[in-house]
Amino acid sequence: MGVMMRPTVSLQRFAFPAGELLISLAILVSCAGGPASRAEKQPPSGGAVQTETTKPTPEQGPSAAVPEKKPTTEQLLATLPQLLEKGDYRGALGVFDSLAPAVAEKSDIRLLKASVLVSAGQADGARKIVQGIIDGDGQNTEALYVLSTIEEAAGREKEQQALLERIVSINPKEDRALAALGTLTYRHRVYKTAEAYFDKSLAANPKNGEALIGKARIRWQYQDPKGAEGLLNQAIAEYPRWAAPLVERARVYREAGFLKEALTDLDTAKALDGGNYWVAIDRGNVLLDLGNKAEALKEFDRAHQLDPKNFLSYVYSAGIRDEQGDYAGAERDY
């Protein structure tokens, strides 16, 4: 299917909207508070619950201000998706500083913070948090999974695989670990084994986005574009603000000759994830297929800015400039 995201020739990964960590955020928001967050909702000792409608008593006088109501743990955590979607990692990490100490020290909250640190490129801080949790509980599959993403970000595939296999040995139905193992196996072109991992992941969780995309790639390898499209349609319906399945479907459409449909998907993907290098590359290629060299060149030049060290966009832009007679520009890109 050409140059893909993860798993791909380039081995790049597309995260879920605002990062894969947000798949479980709703669960964390609902349960992270525990006893500590319930305490936030209790009245102060010896007093009534303060609400926005509380008014000063005559004894207090009109100048007595009502104490400002502090946001609950759930309200603070609920701001994370928007912050992460905007790439505001500093703001997202600031949310954790606003939590009550008893809440901030809970394992699930610390793991969520570690995941944000990974997304922010602060792997060392994330590793320190996660390793501390694992040292206290070696069976904590959530911590092991976050550590596997840290190893992935560092390009340590063997370590990542060992952690994923350890997770599955503890919980054979851990869908994220199964999907990630499928992706690793796919990279090595062992398609039947990869498909088995994706099938197990989807059996445990039919909505696992990575498994849906992975299975779609397998279907494509088996010359089943309709099957691939159906799986990608599922992923798009389930995660409408996730660019990855749109890009994959655009590749299916492009290979089948449906260039306008491919461009529509890539336009949507660009709106969702405009900072993604591979969206720019794929969109430039489709524009080139459509004969729009001027717009294709703009897209490849945009890709230069997104990842100046990746050679692929320079190859494409140099080819266009060479055809246009801009030999100096082509030589510069080469």
Complete DSSP assignment for 309-333: T-SHHHHHHHHHHHHTT-HHHHHHH
Calculate mean pLDDT across residues 113-124: 91
User: How do residues 314-326 score in pLDDT, each as one tens digit?
Assistant: 999 999 999 999 9
Q: Which of 7-21, 76-90, 97-111, 235-249 has the lowest mean pLDDT?
A: 7-21
Tell me the pLDDT tens digit for each residue of 2-21: 333 332 222 233 444 334 44
Structure confidence at residue 37 (pLDDT): 34
Least confident residue range of 11-20, 120-129, 222-231 = 11-20
pLDDT category of residue 252 using cuts at 50, 70 and 90 = very high
Confidence of residue 66 (pLDDT cuts 50, 70, 90): low
Find out whether 241 and 17 touch, Cβ atoms under 8 Å. yes
Residue 84: what residue type? L
Residue 60: per-residue pLDDT: 52
Q: Which residue has the tokens 């869908």?
A: 175
User: 6: Cβ–Cβ under 8 A, 6 or more apart, which residues?
Assistant: 12, 13, 14, 183
Range among 55-59, 74-78, 281-285, 321-325 rated most confident: 281-285
| C-alpha span between 105 and 241 (Å, rounded) | 31
On whether the CB atoms of residues 308 and 279 are closer than 8 A, the answer is: no
| 20 Rama sector, left if φ>0, alpha if ψ -120 to 50, beta otherwise | alpha
Q: What is the mean pLDDT of residues 251-258?
A: 96
Confidence of residue 84 (pLDDT cuts 50, 70, 90): confident
Is a pLDDT exceeding 80 seen at residue 143? yes
- 23-37, 147-161, 264-278 — which is least confidently predicted? 23-37
Architecture, CATH, for domain 254-334: Alpha Horseshoe (1.25)
pLDDT at 59: 53
Domain 20-32+73-166 matches domain 172-240 at the CATH topology level: yes
pTM for the model: 0.78
- CA–CA distances in Å: residue 211 to residues 167, 186, 232, 243, 248: 17, 11, 10, 15, 13
The class that CATH gives domain 20-32+73-166 is mainly alpha
Contacts 24+ apart (CB under 8 A), 117-123: 117/93, 118/21, 118/146, 118/149, 118/150, 118/153, 119/15, 119/19, 119/21, 119/84, 119/89, 120/89, 120/90, 120/92, 120/93, 123/150, 123/153, 123/154
CATH topology of domain 172-240: 1.25.40
Domain residue limits, the chain? 20-32+73-166, 172-240, 254-334
What pLDDT, in 10s, does the model give residues 185-222? 999 999 999 999 999 999 999 999 999 999 999 999 99
Average pLDDT over the chain reads 84
